[in-house]
Amino acid sequence: VQLQASGGGLVQPGGSLRLSCAASGPIFTIVVMGWYRQAPGKQRELVAQITAEGSTNYADVAQGRFTISRDSVKNTVDLQMNSLKPDDTAVYYCYADVKRSRFSTRRDYWGQGTLVTVSS
């Protein structure tokens, strides 16, 4: 299973970016998809996640500014980020909690990361 993330870049404070991630390969079902981020010198932290049923969970830093969505048919997850702040600068990683077959166990897969820089 491979995850391909895209959409990072440089944006001014107050601006918006939309990150996208597509999962491919032998997938029976994706239980949860989401985004983590890692800023320089800091640990990786959860940003947002969404279940197959559409239930969402946001970190406090994302609440009210970021929106996560997914297409369970296409196995994609997007993160719309608004009102970006310099503190949002980080490498953003998408992940997927995947069952590769009906009888397999769940396993996390990670994308390669996409850099978001918020700066004037």
Average pLDDT over residues 16-23: 97
- When pLDDT is cut at 50, 70 and 90, the band that residue 10 belongs to is very high
Lowest mean pLDDT of 4-8, 86-90, 95-99, 100-104, name the range: 100-104
pLDDT value at residue 53: 93
Percent of the chain with pLDDT over 90: 97
Give the per-residue pLDDT at 82.
98
- Mean pLDDT of the chain, nearest integer: 96
CA–CA separation, 91 and 7 (whole Å): 11
